[in-house]
Amino acid sequence: MARVTLKDIAAEAGVSVMTVSNVVNGNSGRVSPATAELVERIVAARGYVPSGPARSLAARRTRLVGLLLPARADGTSLLGSAHDVSVAGALEAALRARDHHVMLRGVATAADVRDSVARWSLDGLVVMGFTDDEVRSLELPAVPTVLVDAAVPPGTRAAAVRADDADGGRLAGEHLLALGHRRVAFCGPTDVRSQVVDGRLDGLRAALADAGAPAPLVVVANTTYEAGLAAAPAVAAGGVTAVFASADVLAAGIERGLAAAGVRVPDDVAVVGFDDAEIARYVSPTLSTVAQDTAAKGRAAAELVLGLIDDEPGAGAVAGSPTRSRGVAADDGVVHIGVSFVARESTGTVRA
Partner DNA sequence: CGTTAAACGTATAGCGCTAAACCTCACGTA
Partner DNA sequence: TACGTGAGGTTTAGCGCTATACGTTTAACG
Q: Does 154 bind a second copy (CB under 8 A)?
A: no
* Helix H or strand E encompassing 172: helix 165-178
Using the rule CB under 7 A, is 51 a contact of DNA?
Answer: yes
| Residue choice 22, 156, 292, 323 for contact with DNA (CB under 7 A) | 22
CB of 9 to DNA, least distance (A): 8
For the CB of residue 16, give the shortest distance to a second copy in the complex, in Å: 21
SS3 108: coil
Angle at 41 between CA 39 and CA 42, to 5 degrees: 65
Among 12, 55, 233, 295, binds DNA (CB under 7 A): 55
Nearer residue to DNA within complex by CB, 57 or 237? 57
Q: Does 57 bind a second copy (CB under 8 A)?
A: yes
| Diameter over CA atoms, the chain | 83
State the CB neighbour count (10 A cutoff) for residue 175: 22
Binds a second copy by CB under 8 A, chosen from 25, 27, 76, 321: 76
**Residue 273 half-sphere exposure toward CB, CA atoms < 13 A:** 29
- Smallest gap from residue 13 Cβ to DNA (A): 9
Cα–Cα dist 247/172, whole Å: 12
Of the ranges 184-192, 198-206, 273-281, 313-321, which one interacts with a second copy (CB under 8 A)?
Answer: 273-281
Q: How far is the CB of 6 from DNA (least distance, A)?
A: 3
Nearest to 284 by CA among 263, 265, 262: 265
What does the CA dihedral 237, 242, 243, 247 come to, rounded to 10 degrees? 150
- 93 makes contact, choosing from a second copy, DNA, none, with CB < 5 to 8 Å by partner type, with a second copy
Which residues in this chain contact DNA in the complex, by CB under 7 A? 2-3, 5-7, 15-19, 21-22, 24-25, 29-36, 48, 50-51, 54-55, 57-59
